[in-house]
Each structure stands twice: as structure tokens, then as C-alpha cells.
Structure 1
Amino acid sequence: MAESARPIHPPTADSAWRYTAEQAARSRFFFDFDGVLSPVTDDPDASQPVAAALGVLEDLAAKVDRVAIVSARPVSFLRTRFESLAHVDLYGLYGLEVWHEGRVVTEPTAEPWVPAMADLAERARAELPSEILVEFKRLSVALHYRTAPQLADEAGAWGHEQAERHGLKIQGGRMVVELKPPVDQDKGMVISEGVKDSGCAWYFGDDMSDIKAFDALRAREAVDPEFFGMCVAVANPETGADVSVAADLTLESPAAVADFLTDGLRRF
């Protein structure tokens, strides 16, 4: 039977799955964690993947070339949630860390910033209202104002002041401001590298930083007419329509992501 033609954007779920199944040996899947595989929680340390996620990711990894999680979380955190998965790669801190062959590989240019980020976290806890949760991630500091949205401007102003003063990068997200080392790395760069030599790739995201990953799939399609990239958004009220507008398909929740994958695997 002849292979299907590359789907036209925006494709139907059925045509996307059918094409992916035909290209399974050259297909790769990438997922954000918070808001995609796990509901977003007030306490970041409380986040857990939805019950069906672990099994379906392992099943998916057995069918396609590669499955990876690309997150703003440190690899150390991701390992505690996905240590049972033998065939899923982990990219932490937007790709500054990678779980590779049983150990964490850190981007060398970022490593010297660990002491500075630790100091920044201490100052944030001392200078900002206690309602702002300060999350130290070794190579970044996140200022969460989910439980105190009225402090969004204060968190943002403090973050931008520190970024300018210390030459840091700043990343906005869902009720969070994050400060990172001035290292050229983001989810788009992870995906650009991750889809080399592949014929098909999917990315599931829910936040503004994930749009760069969507853009990386679009860019690969532009230079390789045989490549198919599928961008999937997960709906939420905090990023509005921006992520969904950039995607081919929108799902309603992390639980819906697991159900969608379970259904898709029946096509293989």
C-alpha cells in the first residue's frame, strides 16, 4: 500500500496519526511537563504526572524512534517523576541539563553560574514578599506568584532589575518569572537539534516558551519537504489563545493528552 502524503496544516488528528505510524521508525515525540503531562499546581514540588502518562509514554517509546520530555524543571526533579521510564530522554532547564546514559550532562557555559543563581535565590527570599514562592533550580531561579496574582508586577519588576544588573536572561511563564544564565539555550534549540535525521516529530506544549519549539518544527518543514511536524497545545486560561493559535491541535488537559496518545497508539 502506498504511503500517505505529508498532511497539510492544520491536519486532522487521524491524518497526523496515520502518517506518523507509517513513519514510526523516524518519528520523535517531545513533551513539556507542567501543564502537559501534569496539572499545574500552586506548589511546584507537588506536581505529579497524570496517572496514565507513565504507561503511555513507555508504550509510545516502544513504537517510535524517540520520546523526550523538555521542561523548565531540573533533571533531578524530572528523574523523581519518571525514573521508571527506561526509554524516555529528559531535558531540564530548557535544555541546559540532559539526562544521558545514566547521568546528568550540564551545558558547560552554564555551570559557572550555579553560585550566582544560589545567591540570587537567597536575595529573592529576603527582598520579595513571602507570598512569592522562590524556586531555586540550580541554574535558574523562578518567582511564582500563582497564589498571589496581585504581586505579579512586583515579581516582574524585581526580576527585570536583577536581569539587567547581573546580565541574566528572563523568561516569563504561567504565573511565574524566571531568571536564567546568559546562555543561548531554549526549547526551540533543543527541538531543532532533536529533529535532525528524523522524518516526523510532535511537540506538546502549553506555555509561551513552547512556541519556540513549535517554530522549530515549522522551520524544519520549510527546509525539508518530506518532514512532518505536529504542534499540539494544551489549553489553559493563563496563556490565553496564543499557544493554541500557534498549534495544529489543542487538547483540553494533561489527562486529555494521555487519552489522545492512548488512542493514537492504536494506529500503530
Structure 2
Amino acid sequence: MIDDLQLTTALETTARQAERCGFFFDFDGTLSPLQDNPATVKPAEGAITAISQLAALVGTIAVISGRPAGFLHQQTGELPISRFGLYGMEWIDEQGEIQTDPEVEPFLPVFVEIERRARAELDPSVLVEFKRLSVGLHFRTAPQQEGGITEWAQKIAAEYGVRALPGRMVIELAPPVHRDKGAVVRAIAKDLSCVWYFGDDLGDVPAMLALRERAEQDPGFTSVNVAVANTETVEEVVAAADIVVASPHDVVALLERVVAALRPTTA
């Protein structure tokens, strides 16, 4: 639900300093509707157009996701935006090349082996998603497999020295290095005076809280957190939000309102 008064205030504040404002987005469940198979996910209708229009009006735009950076590049085409994958362990540089955090690079062959074992050892109903620096074990279409997947993931984590991280109908095997969206947001927002963040999952909470903390400490900084509340959204996401919308399609509608508010008026 959008509070029109709160939105109007946010739009007016953003319009006064648009060139120093950033708009940061999660991908799955935020810019794209959730799907049973993560390989079939696509941006919501109108999302790419809205972001393209917004990019011409504000200082910077970034997509920050648990997905690989290469996947984000494929999904967002030639948009003039930044792309941070795997919670900041990967990013696309100015030449369009994928860069990897040196601290996690040694784990690249480890996850090739973990993917091979997952496909060989787990029930075929489990969707195995290889992300270069992690492996996702999805059980959205086979919830009865959760217990077995959890046990297998914990065994593999201990064997290879990686982490087994529970998520939304998924367990992800990831490097033993803490990275979250909050750290990415702090880094890319440091020279901005206004940031909007859009997210729908527990992994987005650190980013929202980082922006809220910055706004509390800096009277000249404005943060606007937007939660996309689907049937799987946890309470912490809504609690960290200033504005709540119901779906990625509503995100597009909100962005269209932002673009309309920021466009120069002609006499």
C-alpha cells in the first residue's frame, strides 16, 4: 500500500536533487515476478523501459542481487546501470567484463565440483542452480525434499569449508566470506544525497537498514525503502520499508510516477 502523502514528499525531495540520487533494485521478486524455475525469470513488462527513462533523470542506478552478474547483464540489456551479483562478490566493470572479489576467487573450482555432486546425488525434483561462486538448491516445486536437501547441504558445507545458507524455498552453498547488500549499498551510496531501494526478501534488509542508518546520522541524506510484499515476503522487509507495493508490476507503476515527477516541465 502506498501512502500518497509520504510518496509525494519523497518525490518532491528527490526532484530537488535528482542528479545526486540513486535508485537501487533487487531483481527476483522486485523487478521480475517469482517463478518456480529460476531459469525462466524475466523482468516485469515495462520494467526495462521505466529504468531506461529513469536513468536519464537521476545520478545512478544499480541492480544488486544474489544472482550472478552475468545473468543480470543478460536480463537488463544495454541499460546504463551498475550490476552487482552474488551480494557483491561479482560486478560488471565499465568495459562490460565480469570482475570477481579476489577473496572468493579460489572457490570457483569448488563450486563446479559441488554442482556436479548436487546433480548426481540429489533427487531430480531439486532444481540445482550454478552461480559460479555458489550453488542454489531450490525446492519450491518439491517442498517435501527440504529436510533431505538441508542435511545434504550441511554435509557438503562441512566437507568443502563453505556455508549452507537457508533462503526462500532454497538452500545456497556459498563461500565462507560474509557479503551482503548492505555493504554494497554503503559503498555505492557514499557520494549520493538521496537513495531509493527496492527489495522483497530477507537479503534486502541489510541494504534497507544501511540506508535508514545513514539517514538517521546525516540530516542531509534521504532514504526511501520500498518493499515488494508478495506471499513469501518476511515481516522484517515490510518493517524496514517506507513504502509497500504488491508486486513487480506495481514497482513499474511506481517508477512511472517517479519518472513523471522528475521530468522537466515545459511551459
Q: TM-score range by the shorter chain?
A: over 0.9
Matches within 5 A, 1:85-104: 85=79, 87-101=80-94, 102-104=96-98
SS at match of 1:266: helix
Distance 1:162 1:223 in 2: 42
- Preserved CA contact (<8 Å) 1:75 1:92: yes
Answering whether residue 194 of structure 2 is matched by residue 200 of structure 1, we say yes
Task: Deviation per CA, 1:97-146: give whole Å up to 9, x if none.
Answer: 11111211111111110100111111112222111111111100001001
SS at match of 2:35: coil
- The worse-fitting range, judged by mean Cα deviation, of 101-110 and 254-263 is 101-110
SS at match of 1:125: helix
Matches within 5 A, 1:175-214: 175-214=169-208
Distance 2:155 2:216 in 1: 38
- Preserved CA contact (<8 Å) 1:27 1:199: yes
- Preserved CA contact (<8 Å) 1:175 1:238: no
Distance 1:233 1:148 in 2: 27
> Structure 1 residue 90: deviation in Å?
0.7
Distance 2:30 2:75 in 1: 14
Structure 2: where are the runs of 5+ without partners?
263-267
> Structure 1 residue 170: deviation in Å?
3.2
Matches within 5 A, 1:167-182: 167-182=161-176
- The worse-fitting range, judged by mean Cα deviation, of 149-158 and 124-133 is 149-158
SS at match of 1:161: helix
Residue type of the partner of 1:16? A
Distance 2:176 2:254 in 1: 37
Aligned-pair identity in percent equals: 44
Distance 1:250 1:114 in 2: 38
- The worse-fitting range, judged by mean Cα deviation, of 154-163 and 102-111 is 154-163
Give 1:140's match in structure 2, choosing from 127, 134, 138: 134
Give 1:25's match in structure 2, choosing from 9, 12, 19: 19
SS at match of 2:184: helix
Give 1:58's match in structure 2, choosing from 49, 52, 55: 52
SS at match of 2:171: strand
Give 1:111's match in structure 2, choosing from 94, 105, 116: 105
Structure 1: where are the runs of 5+ without partners?
1-8
Distance 1:21 1:149 in 2: 46
- The worse-fitting range, judged by mean Cα deviation, of 132-141 and 149-158 is 149-158
- Preserved CA contact (<8 Å) 1:141 1:178: yes
Give 2:72's match in structure 1, choosing from 66, 73, 78: 78
Give 1:249's match in structure 2, choosing from 236, 243, 259: 243
> Structure 1 residue 183: deviation in Å?
2.1
> Structure 1 residue 242: deviation in Å?
2.8
Residue type of the partner of 1:165? E
Distance 1:39 1:213 in 2: 21
TM-score normalized by structure 2?
A: 0.92
Task: Deviation per CA, 1:65-84: give whole Å up to 9, x if none.
Answer: 10010011111111211123
- Preserved CA contact (<8 Å) 2:22 2:196: yes
Distance 1:172 1:243 in 2: 16
Give 2:254's match in structure 1, choosing from 256, 260, 263: 260
Residue type of the partner of 2:83? L
SS at match of 1:267: helix
Answering whether residue 124 of structure 2 is matched by residue 130 of structure 1, we say yes
Question: Which residue does 1:166 correspond to in 2?
Answer: 160
